[in-house]
Structure 1
Amino acid sequence: MDYETLFTILPKEPKKWSLEDVSSWLNFVGLQQLQTTFTQNSIDGSCLELIEENDLIEDLGITNKIVRKKLMHWLKTGLKEYASHIKSTTFEDRRYEKMEQENATLENTESAQPQYGQINISHDMMTNYLKNNEMFSQQFQQPLCEIENKPQFQKKQQTGILIEQDLEKFVSKVQNELIIQPTEGPQTNFYCIKESGGKIGRHSSNQILILEESISRFHAEVIFQNEEFYIKDIGSTTGTFIKVETKQLLQIGMVVELGSNQFEIQQVNVNGSNIDVVMAIIEGPNTPEKHVINLTTQKSVTTVGRKQTADLTFSEDHHLSNIHAKICLIDGRAYLEDMGSTNGSWLRLSREGQPSQLYPLQNQTVFKIGTTSTYLCKRTSQLVADRSHENSCIICIENDRDALYMPCKHNTACLKCSKNLKDCPICRTKIQDIIRIYKN
């Protein structure tokens, strides 16, 4: 991303952009066709950081997946990095101006040297003063390396080693956090997982503690690597599940939960344009039934539910909806799709007692620990300038940020300081409730 060129067009932070600035930015990134849509919806810089992918589809009508990916990459990563770039550039300019003022003061002092006898300062004192200032000036003017004497390098040549060291201390970095919000089950605590990750289980040493008999002592783990959060099961008994929100490709060895039963995909046989999916119930009231789903070009959909009209019926399973899910043939592959069921369709990460592979946790991903504890993930990123206070309350600068404001879900202050707040300090949304969060 060419932040230098963008700076010449829009030399201010993205959150301060007007409607015209947003149109200029869309033109810069090659998405001119969206300028009218963004203008009609009054999307300025303050709205950009709040846009989610669902908003692009439902509110803005952007159906092109490539365009959505490009936009989300800019909204979630590019604009934050550009804001950091602006801060570092502005900081360097101010340091340079300060150096010019110091040099001007030094020149004025040197011109005053012949007149030192007119005031009550000894010759030796004035000599030492000028010598020290000369050494100080030379230290600042020492170049970092030999570079071409071009105009764009002159400012960096004059700042010197000390200014570069100061910049290293203050240049912002992005701090990623994962807010885990309980949605179903007996749990009510919010958790904030940082880049160091956290473990989930019944043992008191876990960062996310769930005191239920169905939860293993060390059940699952959240890991941050390659700029993404992941979850993995670490050999639990009752399993770790991901809610199926979109079409899920069925593969051999995969375990899916529909209602009270868990199905293992044992075979996926491709016969020309037809597919046979063999599913065995490995856990639940219908164990050990086995079902073969035949998908053809003439009948490409098989429904699963409690209602008798479903192709695969479990009438006694009250955790199933009437038409709970469907297995469909798309482009020569078999997919599972939830049909808006009450209890959802779930992908189990691994079988009982076996550790799983890493599964990425995106914004709004829903996962389930065991049989009842369901959580919603909210991915957040913030710029941190002073690493020693990156998690401190912005009001008292002493306590950790352990208060979450509802409904905006911002986390900027401690619980003690937040009690006196009526509006969120970030977005000015009226605070309806304050929830304590437990950080790892």
Structure 2
Amino acid sequence: MTPQEHDAVEVIATKRDGGRLSGSQIDWVVDAYTRDVVAPEQMSALAMAIVLNGMDREEIARWTDAMIRSGQRMDFSSLSRPTADKHSTGGVGDKITLPLAPLVAACGVAVPQLSGRGLGHTGGTLDKLEAIPGWRADLDNAAMLEQLDEVGAVICAAGTGLAPADKKLYALRDVTGTVESIPLIASSIMSKKIAEGTGSLVLDVKVGSGAFMKDLDDARELARTMVELGRAAGVDTRALLTDMATPLGRTAGNALEVAEAVEVLAGGGPEDVVELTLALAREMLASVGRDDIDPADVLADGRAMDCWRAMISAQGGDPDAPLPHAADIQVVAAEEDGYVARIDAMAVGLAAWRLGAGRSRPGETVQAGAGVELHVGLGDRVRRGQPLMTLHTETPERLPRALAALDDGLELSEQPTPVRDSVILDRIT
């Protein structure tokens, strides 16, 4: 394709006027933007036109494919086991990858989990694991393949060669108000996951105040779009829609969440974290034809913990080392008797972020020990003066703003209120 086939203004105008982008327009603009031929302000205009006018499924599929073709594709065909991956759209207290990857690996499936760092109120898997002394996120492809072959699971940073067009566009959308678009979200996620080379993919699409998707119908549309994109690319793809109105588990923060994940691997941990870990594990195993194995048995007999220890050690971490603890804590106590009726995920996520667990811009340092520890769950009976949560930070001057984020974030009622039966809201296949 020659650069003269299209120009940026023509492509922008097509979508601005509600038109449908042709395959060659999409191929050209994604490639030209990756090579700096299309300027950031031009791609910003096109992204806004997509936000306002949308894309049909054929456009989304072509856009996704163009982003995949902007870089490398990984190949796991040399492995002796089938591969399965999981992707979460992000939430508060979402430490599920940590127990899930070793659990599925202990069931005989290779789990190549390429993860990222957090930004804003949603935590990053790599930030959590970097709280473990010595653990390193960066592996080259050879080391990743070796670890998958020997251990069965790897959680590491994605290389720069995977879908570089998406990396550029993602950063641009973040600062131009063009994040909120199902076509752009779906193509961003799926271009990376398809380029990653996994044989099957299970999506955890979060819904609620602490999630990107607040509305269940929008979340279903996003899940359906991504499932179709994956299957069209030859990747067995399925999705669970899960509740993020309330934080997952009892912790939000890096070292705090690692400790909770280890509790799950040891046979304990909060019910919702265990429920979702097992549900996703069953989907991953079914997607590669291993649904004859019950992951609950593998969790109970210690094989998942053994795999966790091997996975952490293989990446330089010490699974026995004490996790960092923040120097300053503040306990928030109940001001009255009552029943816990609501714990707002966004409020808890913002508080953890303000305490130092998250970052405001890429590259910013996070505090390993910072975060929020909840002492109560939905439906619990509490008494005046009883601890509701503990805030952890290395910088006590952050505490007032964190407390402000929690205003009205936890609600008590005089009478017991119904609580959710399950963290899982729907399943899309």
Return the index of the structure with the highest Cα Rg.
1
Structure with a larger share of its residues in strand = 1
User: Shorter-normalised TM-score: what interval?
Assistant: under 0.3
Structure with a larger share of its residues in helix = 2
TM-score, normalised with respect to structure 1: 0.22
TM-score, normalised with respect to structure 2: 0.22
